[in-house]
């Protein structure tokens, strides 16, 4: 189950992501927002971060205008490793190296074609399980 969250800046791109997940037959929970009316991104970042941290959802996708506010907020929640990605290399590396559990993107930065490729890369890349990466991830929370 994928947890989804966005603010008004990310709403349009999130509709593309939702359509894409449906085409892929992937299950998701949409934590809002639900329109382009101005809202506060921390509300939605926290909902998705808690859904992932509590194990209700395996991974999350967060979108705001830049991806920055929403990722800063999500990373305040223990157990969350939110990665702001604007390219597929970073999306692959953050899954393999950081076992990132939330993908953050900026809808005013990254176009929809690339964004959907980033989503696929993030969802399809497993964690490497390398000892050195496990050790470093543990050190994040210490």
Distance CA 65, CA 109 (A): 7
What are the residue numbers of the active site?
Answer: 64, 97
Residues 39-58 binding ligand RB5 (CB under 6 A) are 41
User: Should residue 11 be labelled a site residue for ligand RB5 when binding is judged by CB under 6 A?
Assistant: no
SS3 category, 130: coil
Instruction: Report the nearest approach of ligand RB5 to the CB of residue 68 (Å).
Output: 4
Distance CA 103, CA 84 (A): 6
CB closer to ligand RB5 out of 5 and 65: 65
In the list 64, 83, 84, 118, the residue contacting ligand RB5 (rule: CB under 6 A) is 64
Report the largest interatomic distance among the alpha carbons of the chain, rounded to a whole angstrom: 45
In the list 44, 69, 94, 118, the residue contacting ligand RB5 (rule: CB under 6 A) is 69
Across 13-41, b (16+ Cβ under 10 Å) vs e yields bbebbbeebeeeeeebebbbbeeeeebeb
Distance CA 124, CA 110 (A): 20
Segment interacting with ligand RB5, rule: CB under 6 A, options 13-21, 44-52, 64-72, 116-124: 64-72
At which residue do the structure tokens 């005013």 appear? 108
Residues 98-137 binding ligand RB5 (CB under 6 A) are none
Q: Is 65 annotated as a binding residue?
A: yes
User: Interface residues with ligand RB5 (CB under 6 A)?
Assistant: 7, 9, 41, 64-66, 68-69
> Which residues carry a binding-site annotation for D-ribulose 5-phosphate?
7-8, 65-69, 98, 108, 132, 136
């Amino acid at each position: 189950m994928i947890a989804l969250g966005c603010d008004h800046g990310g709403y349009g791109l999130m509709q593309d992501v939702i359509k894409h997940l449906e085409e892929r037959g992937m299950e998701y929970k949409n934590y809002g927002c639900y329109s382009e009316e101005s809202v506060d991104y921390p509300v939605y970042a926290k909902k998705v971060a808690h859904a992932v941290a509590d194990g209700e959802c395996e991974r999350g996708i967060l979108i705001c205008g830049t991806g920055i506010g929403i990722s800063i907020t999500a990373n305040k929640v223990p157990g969350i490793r939110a990665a702001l990605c604007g390219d597929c290399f970073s999306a692959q590396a953050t899954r393999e190296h950081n076992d990132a559990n939330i993908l953050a993107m900026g809808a005013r930065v990254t176009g929809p074609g690339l964004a959907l490729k980033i989503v696929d890369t993030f969802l399809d890349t497993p964690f490497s399980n390398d000892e050195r990466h496990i050790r470093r991830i543990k050190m994040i929370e210490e």
